[in-house]
Amino acid sequence: MAISGAADARPARAAFYNDPKVRGIFYQLVLFVVVLWLGYEFVINARDNLRAAKIATGLGFLDNTAGFSINQTLIPYTESDTYGRVFVIGLLNTLLVAAIGIVLATVLGFIVGISRLSPNWLLQRLAGAYVELIRNLPLLFQILFWYLAVLGALPGPRQSISLLGEVFINNRGMIIPRPVFAEGSGIVLAAFALAVVASIGLRVWARRRQEATGQQFPVLRTSLALVVGATFVALVATGFPITFEKPELRGFNFAGGLRVIPEFVALLIALVTYTAAFIAEIVRAGILAVSRGQTEAAYSLGLRPGQALRLVIVPQALRVIIPPLTSQYLNLTKNSSLAVAIGYPDLFAVFAGTTLNQTGQAIEIIAISMAVYLTISLVTSLAMNLYNARVRLVER
């Protein structure tokens, strides 16, 4: 047969340099060699340059004395402490502003985002104007504005603005009452922690029961009562060991109380308002992404509006909201490095700023700083991928 004759003939072979497989290997080899060569050049150049400039290498500098002061430290620190401790203090300061910022930005962002969907025309427009204004101005501009223009214009300590006689605001920062933990505070804190753990357990149990039997349990109210009640009982039983030390004006400055430095306040306000504008848009998009049919179906099943929102709309909206929300949290953490512009002692300012200037060990210090931020982002995105895999719609 004619067909078998055609099969006998050799299939047309392309020349080996036209074979996609060979080409693929060739391209990869070229890239690999180029990257390797660049890396080699960098290492050689860096070695020669460092030798010429007589800069030490290695991580030994972390044990040297820092010799500069830091205006906000969460753990004890003196000028004779090491650069290693400076690194820890900077990291803690970064985490502090990021943690408080994330909580406040979430609250503000949800309020603004829901306001944008409000039936109230005025509120909707105000929220829209806020989002447009904040999103279209650079963050650094906003940080400088709050720090130089707003906080810089505050009066001195003697003319402090007083809120209820407890909190004082002036150009040296915000002075708030300092909690003093006397003997027995441990019991109160333990009671509080125990109540929180019990509430989490209650929630797990209630969810399991609801999935098994359909019966609901008022988790929120019970756990609130549990936490507040247990803490209060412990307070009374131990005779109120936790007191607050009031700030007092003595001479030209305040004595007592806890001083929050203005750099922290300015950075926090700017980060919170900026991130909240982005979170507001995410929340709005998330709620709009749940189709109206879901609400109507929930109503026709006899759910009340509050229940429909809580049990039907919000869980579905969260599926859309949470991934971009996490990336906003990451952005806030990374943006906190702008603190260096106003002198808030975060990781970047004290480590890649002052320490780098003093030691000159640019490679080690910048690599360490980058590694810290990189670790934070990679861990977060790993957690995010796990969460995404859990809540993904199961498609049939």
Partner 1 sequence: MTDEAVNLAFARTQMIDAMAPPRAAAGAIGWLRKNLLNSWTNALLTLLGLYLVWLIVPPLIKFLFIDAVWDGASREDCLAEKVGREVGACWPFIQKKFYQLVYGFYPSDLYWRPNLTFALGAALLIPLLIPKIPYKALNAVLFFGVFPVVAFFLLVGGVFGLEHVETRIWGGLLVTLVVAVTGIVASLPLGIMLALGRRSQLPVIRFFSVIFIEFWRGVPLITVLFFATYMLPLFMPANWSIDSLLRALVGVALFSAAYMAEVVRGGLQAIPRGQYEGAMALGIGYWKMMGLIILPQALKLVIPGIVNTFIGLFKDTTLVMIVAIFDFLGQLRAAFADPNWSTPSTLFTGFAFAGIVYFVFCFGMSRYSLFVERRLDTGYRR
The binding site for partner 1 (CB under 8 A) comprises 24, 27-28, 31-32, 35, 41-42, 45-46, 48-50, 52, 118-123, 126, 132-133, 135-141, 144-145, 148-149, 152-153, 334-335, 337-338, 340-341, 348, 352, 356, 362-363, 366, 369-370, 373-374, 377-378
**Nearer to partner 1 by C-beta: 203 or 334?**
334
- CB of 99 vs partner 1, minimal distance in Å: 17
The total number of residues written for the chain in this structure: 396
**Nearer to partner 1 by C-beta: 137 or 391?**
137
**Nearer to partner 1 by C-beta: 141 or 181?**
141
Strand-pairing partners, residue 175, are: 168, 259
Cα 137 versus chain centre, distance: 21
**Nearer to partner 1 by C-beta: 122 or 389?**
122
- CB of 140 vs partner 1, minimal distance in Å: 4
- CB of 371 vs partner 1, minimal distance in Å: 9
Cα torsion at 197, 200, 204, 207 (round to 10°)?
150
Q: What is the largest CA-CA distance in the chain?
A: 113
Could you give the residue ranges of the DSSP H alpha helices within the chain?
2-8, 20-53, 83-115, 121-135, 139-144, 185-213, 219-238, 262-289, 292-300, 305-307, 314-335, 347, 356-359, 362-391
**Nearer to partner 1 by C-beta: 52 or 212?**
52
**Nearer to partner 1 by C-beta: 184 or 360?**
360
- CB of 28 vs partner 1, minimal distance in Å: 4
**Nearer to partner 1 by C-beta: 31 or 224?**
31
Kindly give, in sequence order, each residue whose CB lies less than 8 Å from that of residue 313, ignoring residues fewer than 6 positions away. Answer: 287, 290, 294, 295, 298
- CB of 10 vs partner 1, minimal distance in Å: 20
Cβ neighbours of 132 (radius 10 Å): 11
SS3 176: strand
Cβ neighbours of 239 (radius 10 Å): 9
Q: What crossing angle do the helices spanning 314-335 and 362-391 adopt, rounded to 10°?
A: 180
- CB of 205 vs partner 1, minimal distance in Å: 35
> Are residues 284 and 220 in contact, defined by beta-carbon separation less than 8 angstroms?
no
- CB of 149 vs partner 1, minimal distance in Å: 4
